[in-house]
Each structure stands twice: as structure tokens, then as C-alpha cells.
Structure 1
Amino acid sequence: MSEDTATRPLLGPPPVRHWPSLDLTGTDFDPVLAELMREGPITRVQLAHGEGWAWLLTRYEDVKALVNDPRFSRAAVATGQVTRIAPHFKPKPGSLAFADQPDHNRLRTAVAPAFTSRGVGRLRTRCQEMLDELVESMAADGPPADLTARVLEPFPLTTICEVMGIPEADRERMAAWTRQIVSAAGAEATARAKEGMYGWFAEEVKARGGATGEDVVSLLGAAVGRGDLTAEEAIGVAGPLQIGGEAVTNNVGNMFFLLLTRPALMERMRAEPENRARFTDELLRYIPHRSAVGLARIALEDVELHGVRVHAGEAVYVSYLSANRDPDVFPDPERVDFDRAPNPHLSFGHGPHYCAGAMLARMQTELLVDTLVDRFPTLRLAVPPAEVPWRRRTLIRGPEALPVAW
């Protein structure tokens, strides 16, 4: 990532590029990000909200290096107002996303048992049962159906509620809060949703101080009871984990839009069940997981990157989407190549902030792909691709509805 600048002078900073919040449809790559990638390994951007500008790194090796570099802090972002895509920014104290080491490991360790291979494996049978109920209900009602509303939204929501330990009576409220938070709704509506969700977690964590269960809220309650975490930290960990379940809905929605609009891909998915894990990895590399970029980091000291100086206090973003299209790592990156190997994509992040729920997300994605592909061998879009509605003014990309027939 860093370069030896002893033999050549530092370059002047590149111009600041405005990066608007685009309402993109389909699974096409963000054209602004594509242009920034062509301009060089490090550029400067101004996003739709917040203040000032930020550096952006787009190449695979640079992204991996920076997210592991302790000279760049997530915690420092929580106390400032950097340029950003989110219209409202008020990090919850104790949030895993804004913690640096060693606090990050301490917070993550408290909930780790719920997201290990053992913890996720324990849920697999129950998740398959829940998914089968949704799929059979859709099949019984007959086509056409909205795959998003009937399966892709309720299944991840129910799964994350199981993992978190949310009683069935509270799951609809939790779903409504989540949808409000991930949308780009007004500040007041978003604040009310966060107040409701975090208030619920505050009460439950307190009530489960002596819990022995393996769900997330019980683990957090026990950690607070032992003094490993403060109550504020426990709530800051719980909220983003609950909200994170929304990602599976959108990712799998993007995948099925691709499969249903590219018959050759769907045919291989149906014909080679033994290779579906590899095919799904390539879809994960290719699909647009989010709009623009995620969370910034702040340089804690001056750092030289590709011949320019990033000064202490300046914000830096990395793009996992562009890293997944780096031609030095992924030959012919604009093509969905089911035979791509190796495929070291960064769709779940990298480094200390690698997605805590990656194993759970993979398990859900595998179940959804296997179950839907096998149960509906003639699954197809019920409308022309151009008529599929897409989420607008949201931080993550995906079809708002996916009308299908079979």
C-alpha cells in the first residue's frame, strides 16, 4: 500500500470527485465508481452527505492492507462528521463497527459463540424447516408471486431473530424498525426506529443478566452481568447485528435477478448442484452489495499512499466492490465466470472488521439457492426485467420486489 517516495517527490492531490447517491437499477456496476477506478489507485471523493471530502482506495491489495493498518481508525469516525452516503449519522456508543483494537476483539468475543461454525450449524436444520414452510406456502398459492416478499425478506428476518433471541411476538416490530433504519427516510423517522430497537435491546439485555442461553441477547446479557461489557456496549453490538440480516435479502435478490435474466447461468446452477458453492461465490463477487461505500476510517498520522500524503485526521474509504473487480486479481472481472478459481473475493470484508455474521449469511444463502432452484425447476421472471422495481434511496442495493412464475 505504501510506496517509497525517497526517490521521487510526492504528487499533488487528485481533484475531488462528486459521487452522488444514484438510484441504480439491475446489477450493473456503479458508473461513478468505475470511473474512479480508471483514474487511479487513490482518488478523492465527496459523497452526498456529511462534510468535506475523503480519500478512496479501489485496488484489491490496497484495500486489504489499509483495513489491517492500525494507523487508520474506525473509532475516530464516530466523533466527527466526514463526507458520507448516509443522510443521518449518529453512531451508537459501543458499536462494533466503530471499535478499534483491543476493544473490537473484546466486544466481538462476547457474541462469537453464536456465529461460529458450531453455532451456525446448530441452526441449519431449524432454518431449513422455516424456509420450507415459506416456500411451500408460496407454491400452494401458485404463481405469480413476489419472491422478495414471500421468501427473501421473511427468511433472513426470522433467522436473525432466532440467532439474536427475539421472541416471535416482537419480530414484526423488529422488522419494521430494521426497514426504517436501512432506508434513507427522514431523520425523525430513523431516530424513532433506532430508539425503539435500542430501547428493546436495553430492556432485554438487562433482563438476561444471568442468562445461559446461546442466543446473542443472552450472551450479551451474561457478558454485562460478568462485567465484560457495559450495558451501552452490549446495545451497540446488538443493533447492527440485527440490522445486518437485511443484507441476505438483497444479496440473494440480486443473485436471483442475475440467474433469471441469464439462462445459461441458471442452467448450470440446476445441472451442477455439486458446484453450487463455487457458483455462489462468483455471484457474491459480482453483485452490487451496496450503494457507493460503507464506513470511513480516519488517519491517525501522516501516511504516504501511491505518491500522495494522507494527513492525520483525514478520512479514507475503501471499496470492496471495486476490489472485487480488480483485473490484477480477477481476470475479465466484468464477466460472471462460474469456473473462476481461485476466487478470493472480499464480499464479507477483510481484517478485524470482517463480517461477524459471514458464516450465518453463507448458510442462509446456500439454503435459499438450493431450495429455490430445486423446488422450482421452471422458475422465471413474471415481468420483463426492465419492470422489476429496485430499492431507492437506500444504503444497500437490491430488488424491492422480484415477481416470479413457474
Structure 2
Amino acid sequence: MTTDEQTARTAPPTPYPFSDADRLDVDPAYAQARACPALTRVQLPYGGWTWLATRYDDVKQVVGDLRFSREQALGDDEPRVQPFTHRADAMTMMDPPEHTRLRRIVTKAFSVRRIERMRPRTREIVDELLDDIVRKGAPADLMQAFADIVPMMVICELLGVPYEDRHRFRTWSEILGSTDAGESAEARMARISAANDELRAYLAAMVAKRRAEPAEDLMTVLVEAHDDGERLSEAEMVSLAWAVLLAGYEITACEIGNFAYTLLTSPDHLEQLRREPHLLESAVEEMLRVVPLTKGAFFARRATEDIELGGTLVRKGEAVLPSLMSANRDESVFPDAATMDFTRSGSSHLAFSYGIHHCLGAQLARMELQVVVGALLERFPGLRLAVPAREVVWRSGGILRGPRHLPVAW
């Protein structure tokens, strides 16, 4: 054991997350951790201590090496920021072979071809909302009138759930992602459990409806999905629909707000995209890399054997928490990593993770972000913040970053 590893292992674990997230700032502690010869030992609000992986190569190994198990990290000692433990029946928490079976069955529902067929309808949704914003006049809240609505409409159409129920989905989503410290853990757990039960009951009813009345939507695809004669169980369909609805709505809404704020507070980059619209796709990839989405790392893995990682011997049974946000700012992989460069070649970022748990909805998110950013640039050449940047109100009490309100003029 090296001196650096001995120090990391014997020193008291550092409280994590390192600090409360401030807008889109990234705590300098991540850069300090990347510069350390060993992994950093941290303690989250719930569960046992864990190693924190911050360098690109280390993070990529953790998320791609099957010796780091998601499944074995489950339980009361799972390092986490929320009081509840993750469900074992969620595909995001499974290891092969069960994960492989589910992934193989549902991947066809998220094919590039299927997502690209949605691009024209997504542009229609975006244009209708922007028309409404223009009619009502400036200033407009880009979050309430646009960013919160686009992904909800898209995901409702994709899944085949009624858009008129969107307010219920939004309430459930916000409760499930809450880390509000203003209430007791017991009270928060009760709210989260109730919201989870209500959402799953709603989706179970949708599954039953699609069995009886098939339609041209993802819920029907899940109901009919099979591989070598093996179909998804009802519980599996509900869990998948649950993940698609929450991730497809809330994460994309936050990303739209974060990207808009980033461009509106970076006039040189905004002008570059207006002047060179062919950079749109690479700009989206670069913002996915550099603009933080979460307030910290999540989804710990547990080592199934002794593994050398980042100058540290991770012993069998120890947990490792991979920080995708930190990996995407690793200077050894991305020169001048904290700086946005829309001409940066390649898209090797880890915003959608890597390996068997690479985000199923990555193509959907990319398509929506490309359509949204492109439409905003095209429709509003004079788009600007209607308040000073420091007056923008940000979300609180959750694991995701994003503006709560984003007043704009044009």
C-alpha cells in the first residue's frame, strides 16, 4: 500500500457532496481530487462510506467494468444522497444476465430510426410553444412557458400517456427527486413512497389499457416487446415506463434550461452559433460535456473482487461512486476542459455514462436538445436574459441542477 493510499484509507472520509451546488459552478474540490494520486474517500448523507472516482479513465472503468456491481451496492449501506434505497427491479440497478435480457428487449424501442421519426413532431411542438410566447410578448419565463413543457409533451406522445395528466407527472417527479433538508427523513420518505406508489399504479393502469387497446406508442411497444419468446413482465414494464417518464421529462427540462442559461450568459458562444449554425450538433455535445446536470455523483458500484483503480486498491465489497461530471472535465482527456469549445472534435464525453448502463434515452435527449437550441437561435436572434444573471432563480431540494425560472426578452 502506497503512502497516498494509506492516507486516503485511514483519514476520516470527506463529507459529500462537497458543497451545495451554486448555479452551474463546479466545486474546485473535484479538480483537487483528480490531482490526487489516490481515490478520495467520502461519506454521503446516507449509507456507508465510498471511494469517489473523479478522473476520466477511472470513472470509465467503474461504469464499464462488470466487476463493479450496481446490484451488489443495493441495501441500507448503499452510499446515497436520498433516504430511500433504489429498487432492485429497476434496470439501472441490475447486473447481467438480467440486465442484458431487459436491455436487449427494449433497445429496439429507442432505436435511432424511431427517434428520428419524432424529430418533425418535436419541431412542431417547439414552434407552437414559441408562437405562443411571441403572442404573449416579452418578458417570458423560458422554463415555465417552454423548457418544462417541451420534454413533457414529447415524452407523453412517445409513451402514449395523456398530456392533460402532465401536472401529476411533474408533481410526482419533483417529489421523487427531492433531497429537501427542511423536513425529517421520515416525512420525506413518506412523501416519496406515496408518490412512487401513485405513479406506478397509474402506469400499471396504462399497461393494462395498452394490452386491450394497442396504439402507436412506446407503451404498446413495451407490452408487445419480446425476445426469443420471452416477454416483459408487468412489473418490468411499469419500471421501464417509470424510468422513461421521469428521466425523459425532468432531466431534459433541466438540460434545456441549463443550455439556454449557458448560451445567454456566454455571448461569444451564442454569436458563434448564430454565425455558424452548422456547429449545432457539436455545440450540443460540448454543452453535454461541460455543463453540469446533477449536484453530485450517484449510483455507487461495489467491487466484486480486489481491483486496482486510480492508484488505490479497491477491496472486494468496497463501494465506488463515479463522478461523470468530474470525468468530463479531466484535462488529460479534454485540454482546457472547463472551457466550452464548439469546434472540439469527437464526442467521448461520459454525460450519458458508458458500457452496459449507457443511457437508453441518449438519442432522444440529443434530438430534443438539437431541435430546441436550433429553434431558439432561428426564431429569436435577439434572445437575452430579462434580468441580471445573478437574479435567475434556481431549483433547490433535488439532485438536478436547473433554473426554476428563466426570464427572457428578444
Are 1:83 and 2:79 counterparts?
yes
Deviation at 1:105, TM superposition (A): 2.3
Q: Do the aligned residues in 1 keep the contact of 2:54 with 2:322 (CA within 8 Å)?
A: yes
Q: Do the aligned residues in 2 keep the contact of 1:92 with 1:236 (CA within 8 Å)?
A: no
Of 6, 13, 16, the residue aligned with 1:12 is 6
Q: Do the aligned residues in 2 keep the contact of 1:224 with 1:231 (CA within 8 Å)?
A: no
Are 1:35 and 2:29 counterparts?
no
SS in structure 2 opposite 1:377? coil
Are 1:193 and 2:183 counterparts?
no
Distance across 1 between alignment mates of 2:291 and 2:176: 23
Matching residue's letter, 2:146: V
Identity percentage over the alignment?
A: 38
Deviation per residue, 1:264-308 (Å, 9 max, x gap): 111001111111111221111110110110211111122222443
Q: Where does residue 351 of structure 1 map in the other structure?
A: 355
Q: Aligned pair in 2 of structure 1 residues 234, 79: CA closer, same or farther (>3 Å)?
A: farther
Distance across 1 between alignment mates of 2:309 and 2:17: 25
Q: Where does residue 303 of structure 2 map in the other structure?
A: 299
Distance across 1 between alignment mates of 2:222 and 2:49: 37
Q: Where does residue 281 of structure 1 map in the other structure?
A: 285
Matching residue's letter, 2:301: R
Deviation at 1:166, TM superposition (A): 0.7
Map 1:257-268 → 2, pairs under 5 A: 257-268=261-272
Map 1:1-400 → 2, pairs under 5 A: 11-12=5-6, 14=8, 15=11, 16-20=13-17, 22-47=19-44, 49-85=45-81, 87-185=82-180, 186-209=188-211, 213-223=215-225, 227-245=230-248, 246-400=250-404
Deviation per residue, 1:83-121 (Å, 9 max, x gap): 212x23232342111011121122123332331111101
Matching residue's letter, 1:107: L
Deviation per residue, 1:323-345 (Å, 9 max, x gap): 11111110011211222223411
Which consecutive unaligned segments of at least 5 residues does structure 2 have?
181-187
Distance across 1 between alignment mates of 2:238 and 2:7: 40
SS in structure 2 opposite 1:208? helix
SS in structure 1 opposite 2:351? coil
Question: Which stretch has the larger CA shift, 352-361 or 165-174?
Answer: 165-174
Deviation per residue, 1:30-60 (Å, 9 max, x gap): 233233223345111112x212210111111
Distance across 2 between alignment mates of 1:230 and 1:13: 48
Q: Do the aligned residues in 2 keep the contact of 1:19 with 1:32 (CA within 8 Å)?
A: no
Deviation per residue, 1:305-364 (Å, 9 max, x gap): 244322222111111111111111100112112222234111111111001000000000
Q: Do the aligned residues in 1 keep the contact of 2:58 with 2:309 (CA within 8 Å)?
A: no
Deviation per residue, 1:219-238 (Å, 9 max, x gap): 22224896522222222222
Q: Do the aligned residues in 1 keep the contact of 2:42 with 2:50 (CA within 8 Å)?
A: yes
Q: Do the aligned residues in 1 keep the contact of 2:283 with 2:342 (CA within 8 Å)?
A: yes
**What TM-score results when the alignment is normalised by the length of structure 2?**
0.91
Q: Do the aligned residues in 1 keep the contact of 2:304 with 2:317 (CA within 8 Å)?
A: yes
Distance across 2 between alignment mates of 1:400 and 1:82: 30
Q: Aligned pair in 2 of structure 1 residues 305, 10: CA closer, same or farther (>3 Å)?
A: farther
Deviation per residue, 1:149-178 (Å, 9 max, x gap): 111010011111111121234333222212
Matching residue's letter, 1:345: H
Q: Do the aligned residues in 1 keep the contact of 2:37 with 2:311 (CA within 8 Å)?
A: no
Deviation at 1:78, TM superposition (A): 2.6
**What TM-score results when the alignment is normalised by the length of structure 1?**
0.92
Which consecutive unaligned segments of at least 5 residues does structure 1 have?
none
Distance across 1 between alignment mates of 2:347 and 2:116: 24
Matching residue's letter, 1:289: L
User: What RMSD, in angstroms, separates the aligned Cα atoms of the two structures?
Assistant: 2.2
Question: Which stretch has the larger CA shift, 173-182 or 204-213?
Answer: 204-213
